[in-house]
Amino acid sequence: MRFHSILFDLDGTLSESAPGLTKSVQYALQQQKIEEPDLNELLSFIGPPLSVEFRRKYGMSDACIEKAVLDFRVRYNRIGLFETNLYPGTDRMLQALHDAGLKMAVATGKPTDMAVRVLDYLKISQYFDGVFGPPMDVADDVKTKSGADSKQTVIRNALAFLGADKDPAHCAMVGDRCFDIEGALKTGTVPVGVDFGYGTHEELLEAGCPEERIASSMEELTEILLA
């Protein structure tokens, strides 16, 4: 299949961002007297909206979630945002897609302003025609009940901006979690998975991503997207 547009998730797909995200979640939990010394226990926060995971994992009320999201952002905006690196080969992959004339945008669960700062820090902003995430409003985040529904909205906004909403079947949504795959399927875009991020190969398959569209490296991803 020949794609004309590519949407990328950010955390776990383009950037290895676990240290900054999990440490910021850990900080937010500490403000509510919840101690979680094992950062690996917080990897599930990468992908879904923070509110969804604070509610699922710790049973927080809306008021506690609102405070936790604000506390997370205090540390993340100051420190965590910069505790990230590109996966090996990311810049070469993006350059190859750019050279092929493909439109590209970021469709992330991270608020747009934060995502723009991360892309600037990683020096890959120039490859993207747009950056799309959920609103910064914490009240909206608290109301979010599903990671897939949140991703679906972000994807639709990105498609409309790129002018690809009339032909989403020739646009790929690349991500490492089930929310990316489910959001792609709900919007008619083609799901493409990467299993080097924070979701497993099995998670991607169970969400509906075909085996042949799951990449284990940036080189494999480039081949899939340029096929």
List the domain boundaries for the chain.
5-16+85-226, 18-82
Sort strands 15-16 and 85-86 into parallel, antiparallel or unpaired: antiparallel
pTM: 0.91
Per-residue pLDDT at 34: 96
Per-residue pLDDT at 93: 98
- If you search the block for the tokens 């002018």, which residue do you land on? 163
Mean pLDDT to the nearest integer, 4-16:
97
Q: Which residues are catalytic?
A: 9
Residue 197 CA from chain centroid, whole number: 10
Per-residue pLDDT at 47: 85
Residue pLDDT, tens place only, 35-80: 999 999 999 999 888 988 999 999 999 999 999 999 999 999 999 9
Q: For residues 127 and 97, what is the distance between their CA atoms, to the nearest angstrom?
A: 9
Sort strands 103-107 and 5-8 into parallel, antiparallel or unpaired: parallel
Q: Give 158 or 137, the one with higher predicted confidence.
A: 158
- The pair of three-digit structure tokens given for residue 8, joined into one six-digit string: 């990328």
Per-residue pLDDT at 148: 57
Q: Which amino acid is it at 136?
A: M
Residue 40 DSSP label: G
Query: Is residue 147 scored above 60 in pLDDT?
Result: no
Going by pLDDT thresholds of 50, 70 and 90, the confidence category of residue 144 is: low
Count CB atoms within 10 A of the CB of residue 23. Answer: 18
CATH number for the segment(s) 18-82: 1.10.150.240
What homologous superfamily does CATH list for 5-16+85-226? HAD superfamily/HAD-like (3.40.50.1000)
Query: Is residue 116 scored above 80 in pLDDT?
Result: yes
Q: What percent of the chain has pLDDT over 70?
A: 93
Per-residue pLDDT at 138: 55
